[in-house]
Amino acid sequence: MASTFDSTLTSLGINATTTAKANAAKTTSSQSLGASDFLKLMTAQLNNQDPFAPTDNTQMVAQLAQISSTSGIAEMGTTLKAIQDKLGATTAGDALGYVGRTVLTEGSTAYARAAGGLAGAVELDKDATGVTVSIRDANGQTLNTLSLGAQKAGTATYDWDGKDASGASAGSGPFTVSVGAADGGEAVTARNLVWAPVAAVSMPATGSPMLTLPGIGQVATSAVRQVG
């Protein structure tokens, strides 16, 4: 079983031996007593015990079991943390899988679909009695305003048919989208989410992979709400 577990860790890129050594080094460098310190104290105690009143074997066995259990728990915690970090990270292969896909993320610039119009969503921090979406052209002129009515906290979707207030086609964009929300007379924090194609992926030396989105710029993979 131990061999299978070690193989699983290796497939995740986690070296169990290295993890154990790192944990041992951390224990040694700390101010608390580690397993080696306990063994030194126990040896000194045995060497200096009173031959007429030797150390209680039961207590010694209990102490050995306790230090062994503590050491094992510390090592397990370090290994589980390494597994969590590995599973939670986005690998290069995962990031490259975004290229050619469309993602839903926070932004204000959107382009029309091939069939015209665009879809998006409004992210609300709390319930709102009224939510609106305003769409403007490249010159800042308002093309249309959508009323989503009352919405619960969370994500409310919208779909614009690509026509201005007079019913004429608004073209392919780019469009600037802004949202507003209120609960009675109190403003509600709202964020606009747009769909955008992933043009490229960059892999910085440190930190998360970054996606390049037309009109929006670079966003971290952690900022993606949905993949289409």
Residue 88 has pLDDT above 80, yes or no: no
- Name which of 172, 179, 177 is nearest 216 in CA terms: 177
In the prediction, which pLDDT does 182 show?
A: 94
Tokens 């004429």 correspond to 168
Q: For the chain, give every residue range classified as CATH 2.60.40.4070.
A: 95-227
In the prediction, which pLDDT does 199 show?
A: 85
In the prediction, which pLDDT does 92 show?
A: 58
Interval 102-161: pLDDT, tens: 889 999 988 888 888 899 999 999 999 999 999 999 888 999 999 999 999 999 999 999
Region of 22 (left: φ > 0; alpha: ψ -120 to 50; beta: rest) is alpha
Residues 6 or more apart whose CB falls under 8 angstroms from that of 120 comprise: 104, 110, 133, 157, 158, 160, 177, 192, 193, 194, 195
Residue 58 has pLDDT above 80, yes or no: no
Residue 183 burial (C-beta neighbours within 10 Å; 0-12, 13-18, 19+): middle
Identify how many contiguous H helices and E strands the chain contains and give both numbers.
5, 13
By the 8 A CB rule, do 211 and 195 touch?
Answer: no
Residue 28 has pLDDT above 60, yes or no: no
In the prediction, which pLDDT does 205 show?
A: 73
Distance CA 218, CA 228 (A): 18
* Confidence class for position 9, pLDDT limits 50, 70, 90: low
In the prediction, which pLDDT does 189 show?
A: 93
Q: What is the CA radius of gyration of the chain?
A: 30
202 or 72: which leads in pLDDT: 202
In the prediction, which pLDDT does 5 show?
A: 55
25 or 127: which leads in pLDDT: 127
Q: What is the mean pLDDT of residues 58-62?
A: 68
21 or 103: which leads in pLDDT: 103
In the prediction, which pLDDT does 158 show?
A: 93
Q: Which CATH number applies to 95-227?
A: 2.60.40.4070
Distance CA 177, CA 192 (A): 7
In the prediction, which pLDDT does 131 show?
A: 95
Q: What is the mean pLDDT of residues 30-50?
A: 67
Residue 213 has pLDDT above 60, yes or no: yes
Q: Is the peptide bond before 209 cis (omega within 30 degrees of 0)?
A: no
